[in-house]
Amino acid sequence: MPAQQSTEDFLLKMEGVSKSYSGVPALQNVRLQLQKGEVHALMGENGAGKSTLMKILSGIVQRDCGEIFLEGRQVEIKSPKAALDLGISMIHQELNPVRAMTVAENIFLGKEPCYPFTGVVNRRKQREMTRELFREMEITIDPDKVMAELSLAEMQLVEIIKAVSYRSRIIIMDEPTSAITGREVARLFEIIRGLKARGMAIIYISHKMDEIFRISDTITVLRDGQYIETRPAKELDHDTLVKLMVGRKISEMFPKRTKTSDGEVIFEVNGLTRRGLFENISFKVKKGEVFGVAGLMGAGRSEVMETVFGLRRADAGTIKIRGQSVRIKSPADGIQNRIAFITEDRQLKGLNLKASVRDNVTLVNLKSFSLFGQILQSGKENAVVDAEIERMRIKTRHRNQIVRTLSGGNQQKVVLAKWLLTEPEIIILDEPTRGIDIGAKAEIYKIIAQLTERGATVIMISSELEEILGMCDRVIVLYHGRITAEFARADFNQENIIKAAMGNWSSN
Amino acid sequence: MPAQTINWRNTGAFFSKYGIYFAFVLLAGTLAIWEPPFRTLGNLENILQQISVNGILAVGMTLVIITAGIDLSVGSVLALAAVVATSFAKADDDGHANHALIVPLAMGVLAGLACGMVNGVLIAKRRLAPFIVTLGMMTVARGLALVYSQGRPEINLSTAYDAIGDGLAGPGGIVMAAVLAGIFILHFTRFGRYVYAVGGNELAAKVSGVNTDRVLIGVYAIAGALAGVAGIVESSRVMSGAPSAGEGYELNAIAAVVIGGSSLNGGVGTMAGTIVGVLIIGVMNNGLDLLGVSSYWQQVVKGAIIVCAVLLDRKSRN
């Protein structure tokens, strides 16, 4: 519980907020209390009501009931513009700048400084004001640079400065680190601390536990649309927080695996190189293993695995499967060699969101449901799809439901079902649990464990250390396109893996 | 009396899903009642004849549009195929041909197929935008048609060739065959499933081992070959292989596909929808003619209907 304080001490107070969408409650009697100069993490699984609450606060949707106080005064937030006027801005997960405009133009979009009585934009002043804002926050980005030339991390900083330029008192950040890497995250956190020092309050939404504990002062947990608890971050630890979010203890988050690898090397990569992306990558994976590939985003992990699967070409290197040299030049070759590749971004590379569950599940395997290789046998196909929906426990009304309408966790299960239908021997999973809630995560870990029990081999790329530590038998760590370390389960140590991922690790 | 509960939400969803079919029935029904000449057998034959060329083109266009592409060249390719085919169907003095009928037919289809293949290869292998490639082909094919025919239409055609487009049996049979083949390809084959996969998410299809290049080349090749077939039907119907044939036909085909519910963003659409789109355009043209609406106004109405159809479709999707 927060220390006893009177209403006036809170910058923002939301009380008894409820919201239903066509009769289905998304929020019930939720409250949130925000102090000046704090980073307040809003936690909960997908569907817990975080985004609905934030949409209410930023004026995108209207609450059914409840009260909102800003510095003790009751306010109505009827539109996004009203929220901005009250000093509340939101930085969405998917950044959406006008790419063809300059940094300064983006920041002052809709509030350009003009020459008096003309409506002509005073570009010089706009540039100077942008420089001034950047100087305050110690950011070095050229205001005249075109937005499209910036990195994602820089775009994010521009968005934050834009929020600051509205004289915001409250900035909502929705998954701000989903697309940026370790060093950029550190930079972002510096900026956030700077904002804090200036008395702004940050509402921070993220699925990444380690970040939550690094940056937040206070944590509020929602579950199933209801308020659960608010506590100082110092008083919480990882397990307690998970328990609050899930409502039950997940001590068994990572399933115990009874069978371990029998030592036979099934997959061997030697000297794999692609200039500019990765160099001299060599590793061996044993049958039945869960083999981890750790490292920061941009270290070349996905690129290596995409090459192994046939999505990219290598300049040099060999691949052996069960001791046999193989040439893999296209995904079709990878599939032929019984490799499955469950990509990092399921919406971008994993699924056809416009198609049905059935059409997605059987896409890789379609030939086996085709007479003469072409004519579809829908009876056979439907039966198999129904069995997969059952086996993977995909929550869908019908096999013809369009995949776009499924939840993230269920979409990921559709991708898994699609690949497991090929009965792969080597399964590459690239960030298999990104952006899905804890319950679905546990289910996916269980599926991975079941796969290895049945003799399949799993290669798992992950940025989540706890996942690597919890699931893998061995792990290699990549840094700047090179392998910097390899650890066996017995030697797993969070600190060493982080060091190797940052490039400062030598094995002796 | 027991109260029957009606779920209006479902009813609404049902109507918007099949709205285009209701619209067609409404349109045809109204004309049948108000305009007796509409429902004569002769007029229906007339409509079928008139829509045959657009129907053939629209089948190919549906495949292309579902892959998130577009083919602006089909009208010009039709003309090229027409002049090529008719050049092999010249009649001697007693109306007999120099070649067997199969020769002009094969040459016409091959001309169309070749253009389609060029489109497909440029789009799939060189990653050029379909709009640009087919816009280029639209001009090139028209130019080739003029070069090949030296700008003069071939009007001295053999009786056998003329017979193809004569009456209803020929054009009607060919458009039926094209439609059935289209339905089969799109909805009952692996290739058809891949067409949706490529249009819905090309990258995901590639990762899933689909040879996306082959699918893209395939749909443009089919569209080109069907444009060739349409060129034969058109030239035979009007008994002239003119290099100016088919101008603007690509837009009619695109309109039919879009009215039929296919999304220009790809991944969505059905052959049945396209057929209804073709019928709506055909019946509308015919109805407006019967009602004595000037052909100038007909264009205005047609354009407005295309936009409205897409608007309704967008609404039903939300």
Question: How far is residue A204 from each of residues A34, A107, B87, measured CA to CA in Å?
Answer: 12, 22, 73
Contacts of B54 (CB under 8 A, 6+ apart): B249, B252, B253, B256, B278, B281, B282
Integer Rg of chain A from CA: 25
CA-CA distance, A136 to A323, in Å (whole number)?
60
Higher pLDDT, A397 or B167: A397
Please give the model's pTM, rounded to 2 decimal places.
0.78
Interval B75-107: pLDDT, tens? 999 999 999 999 999 888 777 778 889 999 999
B207, B214, B318: best to mutate for the A interface, most A CBs within 10 A: B207
Nearest residue in chain B measured CA to CA from A350: B204
Q: Do A376 and B210 touch (CB under 8 A)?
A: no
What's the pLDDT score for residue A466?
79
Interval B144-199: pLDDT, tens? 999 999 999 998 899 889 888 887 778 899 999 999 999 999 999 999 999 999 99
Over 80: is that where the pLDDT of B58 sits? yes
pLDDT tier at B8, thresholds 50, 70, 90: low
What's the pLDDT score for residue A508?
47
CA-CA distance, B309 to B177, in Å (whole number)?
27
Q: Do B204 and A352 touch (CB under 8 A)?
A: yes
Q: Report which of A468, A458, A472, A461 is spatially closest to residue A427, judged by C-alpha positions.
A: A458
Instruction: Dihedral sign for Cα B201, B207, B209, B214, please.
Output: positive
Q: What is the percentage of chain A residues whose pLDDT exceeds 90?
A: 50
Q: How many CA atoms lie within 13 A of B215 on its CB side?
A: 28
Burial A378-415 (b: 16+ CB within 10 A, else e): eeebeebbeebbeebebebeebebbbeebebbbbbbbb
Over 90: is that where the pLDDT of B217 sits? yes
What's the pLDDT score for residue A112?
86
The strand pair at A170-174 and A88-91 is best described as parallel
Question: Could you give phi then psi for residue A316, rounded to 5 degrees?
Answer: -155, 165
CA-CA distance, A371 to A375, in Å (whole number)?
5
**Average pLDDT over every residue of A321-327:** 93
CA-CA distance, B267 to B120, in Å (whole number)?
18
**Average pLDDT over every residue of A182-197:** 86
CA-CA distance, A221 to A42, in Å (whole number)?
6
Pair A25, A200: CB distance under 8 Å: no
| Helix ranges restricted to H, A352-437 | 357-361, 378-392, 408-420
**Average pLDDT over every residue of A92-100:** 80
Nearest to A332 among B197, B199, B211 (CB): B211
pLDDT tier at A251, thresholds 50, 70, 90: low
What's the pLDDT score for residue A1?
42
Interval A351-376: pLDDT, tens? 999 999 999 999 999 999 999 989 99
DSSP state of A113: -
Q: Do B211 and A351 touch (CB under 8 A)?
A: no
Contacts of A504 (CB under 8 A, 6+ apart): none
**Average pLDDT over every residue of A51-80:** 91
CA-CA distance, B78 to B235, in Å (whole number)?
9
Token pair 């939300």: residue: B318
Residues of A with CB under 8 A from a CB of B: 311, 330-332, 334-335, 341, 343, 348-355, 359, 363-364, 366-367, 370, 373-376, 418
Pair B31, B283: CB distance under 8 Å: yes
Give contacts of A349 with chain B, Cβ < 8 Å: 201, 203-204, 207
CA-CA distance, B93 to A121, in Å (whole number)?
78
CA-CA distance, B89 to B154, in Å (whole number)?
9
- In chain B, the N- to C-terminal Cα span, in Å, equals 36
Interval A427-461: pLDDT, tens? 999 998 876 777 778 888 988 999 998 889 999 99
CA-CA distance, A174 to A156, in Å (whole number)?
11
What's the pLDDT score for residue A138?
80
Q: Do B188 and A363 touch (CB under 8 A)?
A: no
What's the pLDDT score for residue A338?
94
Over 90: is that where the pLDDT of A341 sits? yes
What's the pLDDT score for residue B314?
66
DSSP collapsed to 3 states, A225-290:
CEEEEEEEHHHCCHHHHHHHHHCCCCCCCCCCCCCCCCCCEEEEEEEEEECCCEEEEEEEEECCCE
Interval A469-495: pLDDT, tens? 889 999 999 988 999 999 998 888 877
Interval A256-273: pLDDT, tens? 777 666 778 999 999 999
Question: How far is residue A116 from each of residues A105, A120, A204, measured CA to CA in Å?
Answer: 18, 8, 39
Q: Do B197 and A359 touch (CB under 8 A)?
A: yes
Q: Please give the biggest Cα pair distance in chain B.
A: 80
Contacts of B24 (CB under 8 A, 6+ apart): B276, B279, B280, B283
Residues of B with CB under 8 A from a CB of A: 188-194, 196-197, 199-201, 203-211, 266-268
CA distance A119 to chain B (A): 35
CA-CA distance, A247 to A443, in Å (whole number)?
16
Burial A195-213 (b: 16+ CB within 10 A, else e): bbeeebbbbbbbbebebbb
Interval A128-174: pLDDT, tens? 999 988 888 788 889 999 988 888 778 888 888 888 888 889 999 98
